[in-house]
Amino acid sequence: KAGVTQTPRYLIKTRGQQVTLSCSPISGHRSVSWYQQTPGQGLQFLFEYFSETQRNKGNFPGRFSGRQFSNSRSEMNVSTLELGDSALYLCASSFSFGGYTEAFFGQGTRLTVV
């Protein structure tokens, strides 16, 4: 069974540009969550999508957005990039069984903003 696939793995962008990151969940998983990891703040929740609908959102500015397609693949977009957006962006796909949720993480996309 293929794991969670994130593309690209590494990305360098310039301030003011926008970026789109992609996440393909494990087959059959309908929930995809996105997280940002920085040295100062650690891991923080960005948003979560289920069946093409955003169900939860973290405390990030509107420059951070996402979407999910009918095949459960998800993209996140960051517009007007700032230096502080340099981070490892992780996505996780999840499924629930018996009231419990198990999450599987991708390798992440390391974004550097210069």
Partner 1 sequence: KNEVEQSPQNLTAQEGEFITINCSYSVGISALHWLQQHPGGGIVSLFMLSSGKKKHGRLIATINIQEKHSSLHITASHPRDSAVYICAVGGSNYKLTFGKGTLLTVNP
How far, in Å, CA of 105 to CA of 93, rounded? 7
How far, in Å, CA of 107 to CA of 3, rounded? 10
Residue 1 half-sphere exposure toward CB, CA atoms < 13 A: 8
> Between residues 14 and 39, which has the closer beta carbon with respect to partner 1?
39
48 binding partner 1? (CB under 8 A) = yes
33 binding partner 1? (CB under 8 A) = yes
How far, in Å, CA of 33 to CA of 95, rounded? 11
31 binding partner 1? (CB under 8 A) = yes
12 binding partner 1? (CB under 8 A) = no
Q: Which residues bind partner 1 (CB under 8 A)?
A: 31, 33, 35, 42-45, 48, 50, 55-56, 58, 90, 92, 94, 99-108
